[in-house]
Homo-oligomer: A and B are copies of this chain.
Amino acid sequence: MGLIVAIDRPLEEGLVERLCGVASGVKVGLPAVLRAGVEWARRAASSCRGLKVLDFKLADVAHVMEAIVEPFLGYYDAFIAHSFLGGPGALTELSRILEREGARLVLVASMSHPGSLEVYDKVSGLIEAVIDEVDPWGLVAPATRPRVIGRLRRRYPGKAILAPGVGAQGARPGTAVCAGADYEIVGRAIVDSPDPVKAALEIASEVEVARRGCGAEAG
């Protein structure tokens, strides 16, 4: 429950550790790993006491996805892949590999950009059939569309919902958690700020205040 810091460019390792001290975890993206390397990504994960999510938006056939995640198994807790891949030959095998290694699968159910309305959000029935089939630990749904989060929360009460799109992409901290998300993902508003740890603390507190507020409204 709370804030996950999205890291899409290399940060000093001490900073990752300190961000994990004030947030619930980190989500490390491919742009950061390409620039800083696999070893950096492993050390960053090892320094973090929270939830470590590797976000490469996996979207390939099974044997390629297996080769992509292999160097990060044992370092990251959860791996994000696209639900539109379907099960056999892709997510079914990925899910098995992750389960065997004690890692969690998180499937993208919808995205935060306007283009998501052109395909992803038009075929939510098919996407949910894949989610039912593959049964991931968590889902990614956009903070910019709280109704989508609300629908997924009602449909999947037991799954973690991770919501990107907070901050630079437009959603206000707290909106997604109030709509039913477990984690709000914030990147640039934290890592591009002059004092990232202070920014993370402030946003984590905004998320928490909003959560209590919407809890009160709901009660």
Contacts and interface: CB of A to CB of B under 8 A. Distances in A.
Interface in A104-137: 111-120, 122-123, 126-127, 129-130, 133
Given A9-B67, A37-B37, A126-B123, A86 B30 contact: no
Interface SS of chain A: helix
A36 to B, nearest CB: 10
> Among A64, A112, A122, which residue has the most Cβ atoms of chain B within 10 A?
A64
A56 B67 CA distance: 12
Contacts of A115: 85-92, 130
A155 to B, nearest CB: 17
A56 to B, nearest CB: 7
Given A86-B115, A119-B130, 8 more contacts: A37-B37, A61-B111, A61-B169, A86-B120, A87-B118, A88-B113, A88-B115, A90-B116
Interface of A: 8-9, 29-31, 33-35, 37-38, 56-57, 59-62, 64, 67-68, 71, 82-92, 111-120, 122-123, 126-127, 129-130, 133, 169
